[in-house]
Chain A
């Protein structure tokens, strides 16, 4: 399934889309399409033949009818902040952006639900819910830019998901338009939901745009916490910090967030944002408790005791709200900060069991030494979700190659330790060649049949998730030479 590329077919595609959609919804000039050639992961760029920006489910249906009739690939895209190369048109065709579908359709404070179009920005859901004392729990670090539709496609997480769950734990209804331009209303988006809807919704969330275009979403809202208290602890080794994380969980506490940053990441953040992290430590932990005042009071001493049990240099509560806000701001800007001290970086997203965290971080450091690469470490440590950032010079082809090899070795290490290739960024185009390391042949065959249940012609987001060669005609996308600068995780 190659893109169209040939001039006449592209002209026909653009002509039909322009007839079916408002003129401002179709972008066909090269300079208009250029910004859609990359997402947050720029190692694998790909250019669409045409970009469409529909404003409604009806316009999505109209665009998908044209693509269906011409047999053209369709790539759904939210804000393009994804870090796995999932929202780029690897095989040309139509890139369907949902950014203009940005209406908050309803907020129901009694049932604690919000009904949203997919282009609503993540943080705007919480802003709309705030007057009712409610919020949307998943908080990816890109939350000021990323959209709910993208969160649904990738099953996004964020630092605060250990206690309250990731996107899939909060979605109760969806409208999905499949590749054949059929509209499916599921769960709380349906007039009469069936018992099967919850399962279908579960499959669609995190399907990385391979099952269709989600045009409406109902999410659960959760109450804001009465009390939020943040703790900062510093350690002489990354392994000590990792052992402290396990001690916190073993104490029976599920913090709202447990973040671990190594020395390299902390120094970059401090230069960039002056967040108030100690500079004399090899690793710092940022631990947040939330709940009722009495609940947080009761958990404070057990948490501090666990943090101090592993040779902590220091462990204490944030000085005040300002200190807390500065630390979180610093943490959420960690990627941007690292982008300032390196000419390129490559972010990974592997998961290990938290009890193997110390071992995993030691092995990642060893991989960095062996490949002669600096690797910064910014981790959602409570759920074992690692974000090693491999720093490299994008002008240095050899270093780029070593960064790619080191990245693969890091992900293999995560799997060897009983973890997963990806905790929240998705497989995308970036990690698809590793899918067979995690799932055996019968399981991948089930995935392929599931994909065809939604999309028999495999036109939705081709070149993602499945290894190349899993279908005839899917060539490997060449490794580009550009590298990400700036971004979030």
Chain B
């Protein structure tokens, strides 16, 4: 059975029978199919920005609000989301961004999905509606449940509303880079870019077909970006030339890099992730997020089975979902 409530009370009602297994999804950009007999609960009917307080650097939205709608609502106030998720087919939702922990490569002040989710309303496996975190950028009251929900992929709770940090759109943007056929010098330049005095919003190395490209996203006041581009040139990183003209690595290129980071590879390849120091030399495609210290790669063969979840995490999971109804045939964190 499939339900798509358009308000919070509808989600509570849909989850009223605690014995039913449930598969929760947002916009469906990375959802797995609901197994036989499970309730297919779509949250993308819960839409709308509830409040946006620019001077408080926060916004609150219903969980199924499309990412492009969030962006359109923040833009007139000169603000944006501090992360840039891959909005596949324009179906991505704000709740899905947090549930998947899919926050892309850009993080101007280092804030990722887990850093910007400040508060949430959510329905637990036992049907309880809870309100966790707070609607301010700083709070340590109670346990920090929002951080447990980020990346939980619908296996702990059904998000109905999220409060998140927002930031000012920078006045100016530029991308600088360096390309070579050997990883080490590219990684060195990327790390040099990471140390620019204007802290880059993203520093990545993209590997494909034996070519390696370092790219750093510079954002800030115009004169600061101009100065940083000059600094980068002295380190051997230049604005990418495309079609013979000097210009920033286009938004599409950043989106493509983010997409590789988030999407499943074509068969028979396998997607693996790890610390950047363990990056494989033989990947078909790879993105190293230098600022985060992580890589994502498409490699030959089958992925090793994920390490088993610990008994400690299993007890935490049960605190949210005592009967395991949200697992609906899959494990926590399954891609």
Contacts and interface: CB of A to CB of B under 8 A. Distances in A.
23 contacts: A163-B109, A168-B147, A195-B333, A198-B151, A200-B312, A203-B145, A203-B147, A206-B140, A250-B54, A292-B227, A293-B227, A294-B228, A299-B221, A351-B138, A354-B57, A420-B136, A421-B141, A423-B140, A439-B141, A440-B130, A446-B319, A450-B143, A452-B319
Interface string B37-55: 0000000000000000111
Contacts of A294: 198, 221, 223-224, 226-228
A226 B106 CA distance: 22
B301 interface: no
A412 interface: no
A3 interface: no
A194 B331 CA distance: 12
Interface string A437-464: 0111011011101111110000000000
A111 B141 contact: no
Contacts of B320: 446
A341 B309 CA distance: 55
Contact of A111 (B55, B151, B276, B315): B276
Interface string A197-211: 011111101110000
Interface string A159-170: 001111110110
B172 to A, nearest CB: 10
Given A250-B55, A383-B138, A419-B136, A155 B144 contact: yes
A222 interface: yes
Contact of B136 (A154, A188, A201, A418): A418
A447 B143 CA distance: 7
Nearest to B149: A199
Nearest to B170: A252
B199 A165 contact: no
B250 to A, nearest CB: 24
A419 B134 contact: yes
Contacts of A421: 139, 141
Interface stretch (A19-27, A117-125, A332-340, A424-432): A424-432
Per DSSP, are chain A's interface residues mostly helix, strand or loop, or mixed?
A: mixed
A351 B57 contact: no
Interface residues of B, number: 73
A253 B109 CA distance: 12
B17 interface: no
Question: Closest 10 interchain pairs by CB?
Answer: A202-B147, A195-B333, A298-B221, A252-B168, A420-B139, A292-B197, A226-B197, A449-B319, A295-B224, A453-B315
Contact of A427 (B55, B142, B195): B142
Contacts of B149: 199
B141 A203 contact: no
Nearest to B124: A446
Nearest to B168: A252
A380 B140 CA distance: 15
Interface stretch (B66-74, B110-118, B260-268): B110-118
A450 B141 contact: no
A203 B148 CA distance: 6
B131 A440 contact: yes
Nearest to B307: A192
Given A196-B332, A203-B148, A450-B316, A354 B56 contact: yes
Given A194-B307, A353-B58, A426 B140 contact: yes
A333 B86 CA distance: 46
